[in-house]
Amino acid sequence: MESLFFFIIAIALAYAVGCWGSTRKIGFGWAFGLSLINLFIGIIAVLCSKKIEKNEDNVES
């Protein structure tokens, strides 16, 4: 029962890092996958990835 609790916490933290990675070039999938392997590797990968720049000139109406 205790291991299930830690498993759910690990998935939730990996999901949080994945959501953070979706605002960067690495994307959600890679950030989430790396965080499942090791949370700190996922965080470092997201920190090293560049932010996605939103260009308002290319917005189509």
- Per domain, the residue ranges of the chain are 11-48
* Contact (CB, 8 A) for 35 and 17: yes
Q: What is the pLDDT of residues 3-36, one digit of tens each?
A: 999 999 999 999 999 999 999 999 999 999 999 9
Three-class secondary structure assignment of 26-48: CHHHHHHHHHHHCHHHHHHHHHH
Please state the pTM of the whole predicted model. 0.80
